[in-house]
Chains A and B, each alone.
Chain A
Amino acid sequence: VSGIGHTLSPGDPPLFDPTAPLTATGNLRWRAIVSRLVDSGASVAALIAVVMLGFVVYGVVSRGASALSLAFVFTNPQGLVGGGILNSLLGTVEIVMIGALIAAPLGVLTGLYLTEFAGRRSRTGRAMAVALDVLQGVPTIVTGLFIYGLIVIPAHAESGIAAAVALAIVMLPLMARASQEVLLLVPGTLREAADSLGVARWRAVLTVIVPAAAGGIVTGMILATARAAGETAPLLICNSIYNPLTTQLNPFKGVPSVPMLIYTSYDLAVPEALVRLWGAAFILLVGILAANILARLLLARSRAKMGGA
C-alpha cells in the first residue's frame, strides 16, 4: 500500500503473487456468505410453501380417498351418516352456476368499460376501479350478511338464489379485474386496424377485441367460479336451512351444498360423519384444483396465440 517512496528489499514478500489461489477473503468472503445464506433462506421459504400445500392436499386425499365410490357420488344421503352426497353436489353446481351467470356478463362489461370507454385519466373509470378493489376486499361473510338483509329478510326464507347472488358478488370483482387485465393486453394495432377500416366501435369491440381476449377472459371466469365454489361463509348465512337428505333444485328453497355438508358434518361428531366430510372435501378440493390447472393451461395457450399475433 505504501510502496511509493520506498524501495523493496529482496526479503520482502512480493506485492502481487500470481500463484496465490483465487479465493475471496475478508469482507468479500463475508459478503458472499451472506448472499449465499439469503439464497438458501429464500429457497427454504419456497420449499416450506410447497410442503405445506403437500400436507394440506395429502391430509385431505389420504382421508377422503377411502370414502370415495360411485355410490358416494351418485346417491343421496341415507340418514345422518350413510349414503352419498349427490344432492349436495347438484346443489353446489346449481348455486355456483347461477352466480356465475349473474357475475360473468357484469364482470366482462365492467372490464370493457374500464378499458374501452373510460380513458386512463377518466374520473369515472378510476372511481370504478376503486369500487372494484373495495368490493374485492369485502370479506365474504359480510357479503353474506348483506344478502341476508337484502333478500333473506324480505323473503322471510333462506334460499339457494340468495346464496347464488352472494357468490356472484364474490365473483364479480375477480371477473372484472381479469377481463380488464386481458383487454389491456390486446395489441393497440388491432384497434387501430379496425378503426382504419371504418368499423364501428361496438363492432370492433364485439368482433375484434373481445375475441382476441377471449382466452384470458374465460380463464378469469373459471378461476373466479372455482373460488366461489369453495366459499362457505355466504352459504352459511343465506342458505343454511335445507333438507340435507333430498335433492332440491328449486333455487327459491334452501338448497344443499358441498361446503355446507362439510361444515355441518363436523358438528355431528361421529366417525362416520367424518368419513363423509373428508370424502366431500376430497371432491371439492380436487374439483377446484383441477379447474385451476385447466384455467392455467388455457391461459398459457391463449398467451402463446396472442404472442404469435
Chain B
Amino acid sequence: MGVTAHVSPRTTKTRRASRVGDRVLFGLCALAGVIVAITLVDLGYQLVINAKPSIDRFGFGFLGHEAWAPNFKVFGAADMLYGTAVSSAMALVIGAPLGIAIAIYLSMIAPRRVSAIVGPLVEMLAAVPSIIYGFWGVIVLAPFIQRIEPGLHSALGFIPLFGSPQTTGISVFTAGLVLTLMILPIVSSLCRDLFLTVPRELTEGAEALGATRWEIIRGIVLPSTISGVSAATVLGLGRALGEAIAVSLVIGDANGIHASLFQPGSTLAERIANQFPSPVNSLHTASMFYAGLLLLVICLLTSLGARAIAGRFDVERRYARAATA
C-alpha cells in the first residue's frame, strides 16, 4: 500500500485534517456524555420543582402520613411506601432464589444444547411488556389466585401475611407474583453470566477432590461470586420497586396499610400511573410528583448500591472476559 511510503513526511494538510477529525469525533462523543449528564440533573430538577407545592405543604411528614384524599387536599405516602416495600420484598423473596437456581441450572447442570435454548427463553420473560404482564395478571392470574387464597389462608393463616381471602384476587399478593416474574430474568441472566466466569481450575480442582456438585456450588461458585449475585438481586429489586403499569392493574390502588397480602394496596409507581392522567387538583399532581421524587431517590440508591456491591469485582471480571474473548 502507498501509505507506508508516506508515513514520516505526512503532508501538513492530512495532518490537520486528521487533527480536526479527531477533535470533531471527540467533541461529538463528549457532547453525548454531557447530554446524558444534563438529562440526569434536569430529571431531578423537574421532579423537585413540580413537587414543590406538595413539598412545601407536607414536608417530610408526607413520608409518614397515611391519608391520600385528593378531594380534601390531604396527601401522604406512608401506605404507598409500605406497599412498594412489601410487594417488592415478596418478589425478591421468591424471585431471587428461583433466579439463582435457574442460573445454576443454565451454567452448570444443563447440557450445552439445552441451556442454549432454555437460557434465551428465560430471557424472553424480560422482553414481555409490562402492560401484557398486567393484563395477564388481572385476567388470567387473579382468578387463579382467588381460588387458591382460601387454601393458603387455612394452611398458613397463623402468619398475619396470609389473612382472610378477598373476593377478587386483586391484591398485593398477585402484584408480588407478577413482579417475581418480571425480576426473574434479570437475576437469572446476570447470575448465569457471573457463574460462567468462575475459573475452571477451581471447580475442576474441587471435582477432582471428590466434591459433589452442590459442594462445588456452595463452597466455590457462590462464595466467589457473592458480591455479583447480590448486585444482581439489587438490580432486580430496582426493577420491582419502579414497576408501574403491571402493578397498577393487579394491586387495586387502595389506601391503607394491611398486614395481609391478600388485601389490595398501592405502590408509589402504581399510584402515579393510576391517578396522574386525571388529577383532581393541582396539589394532587404535585403530590404525585413528590411520590415520583421519592421513587427516584429510592431507585437511585438501589442502582448506586448495586454498583457499590459489585464494586471492582465486576469490572475486573468483565475486562478479563473481554481480554480472553
> Which chain B residues (96-113) contact chain A, with CB distance < 8 Å?
98, 101-102, 104-106, 109-110
> Can you name the residue of chain A whose Cβ is closest to the Cβ of B7?
A198
Are B102 and A145 touching (Cβ within 8 A)?
no
A32 and B214 CA atoms in complex are apart in Å by: 9
Query: At the interface, is chain B mostly helix, strand, loop or mixed?
Result: helix
Q: Which residues of B contact A149 (CB under 8 A)?
A: 46-47, 49-50, 289
Query: Does A81 touch B at the CB level, under 8 Å?
Result: no
- Interface pick from A3-11, A33-41, A65-73: A33-41
Looking at the complex, which of B53-61, B114-122, B157-165 is the stretch in contact with chain A? B114-122
Q: CB distance B242 to A140 under 8 Å? A: yes
Is the CB of A171 closer than 8 A to any CB of chain B?
A: no
Q: Are A52 and B181 closer than 8 Å at their CB atoms?
A: yes
Q: Is B35 an interface residue (CB 8 A)?
A: yes
* Contact A202 B131, beta carbon cutoff 8 Å: no
Convert B236-249 into 0s and 1s, putting 1 for each residue whose CB lies closer than 8 angstroms to a CB of A. 00100111110001
B32 at the interface (CB under 8 A from A): yes
Residue interface bits A202-234, CB-to-B below 8 A is 1, else 0: 110110000000000000000000110111110
With A109-B28, A137-B299, A142-B299 given, is the CB distance from A39 to B242 under 8 Å? Answer: no
Given A39-B109, A42-B101, A142-B296, A53–B122 Cβ distance below 8 Å?
Answer: yes
User: Which residues in A have their C-beta under 8 angstroms from that of B26?
Assistant: 117
How many angstroms from the CA of A237 to the CA of B273 in the assembled complex?
A: 8
Q: Mark B16-46, 1 if CB is under 8 A from A, else 0.
A: 0111011011101111110111011011001
Cβ contact of B245, chosen from A112, A128, A184, A232, cutoff 8 A: A232
Instruction: Of the listed stretches B146-154, B197-205, B300-308, name the one at the interface; the rest are far from the partner chain.
Output: B300-308
Residues of chain B lying within 8 A (CB to CB) of residue A37:
214
Say whether A285 contacts B132, CB under 8 Å.
yes
A248 lies within 8 A of chain B by Cβ:
no
B130 close to A (CB within 8 Å): yes
By size class, the interface of chain A is 35 or more
Determine the distance from Cα of A130 to Cα of B288 in the docked complex, in whole angstroms. 27
**In the bound complex, what is the Cα–Cα distance between A289 and B128 (angstroms)?**
7
B184 contacts the other chain (CB 8 A) = yes
**Given A137-B300, A233-B245, A285-B128, are A109 and B29 also a contact pair (CB < 8 Å)?**
yes
Q: Are B98 and A32 in contact (CB under 8 A)?
A: no
Given the complex of chains A and B, what is the CA–CA distance between A240 and B47 in angstroms?
A: 20
Q: Taking the nearest CB of chain B, how far is it from the CB of A166, in angstroms? A: 11
Stretch at the interface among B63-71, B74-82, B133-141, B254-262: B133-141
Would you mind naming 8 contact pairs between A and B with Cβ atoms under 8 Å apart? A39-B213, A43-B105, A50-B118, A60-B136, A139-B299, A262-B132, A277-B135, A278-B135
9 nearest interchain CB pairs? Answer: A230-B129, A139-B242, A200-B18, A137-B303, A149-B46, A35-B212, A45-B101, A109-B32, A113-B29
Interface residues of A (CB under 8 A from B): 31-32, 34-35, 37-39, 41-43, 45-46, 48-50, 52-53, 55-57, 59-60, 105-107, 109-110, 112-113, 116-117, 120, 124, 127-128, 130-143, 145-146, 148-150, 153, 169, 172, 176, 184-185, 197-203, 205-206, 226-227, 229-233, 236-237, 240, 259, 262-263, 266, 274, 277-278, 281, 284-285, 288-289, 292, 296
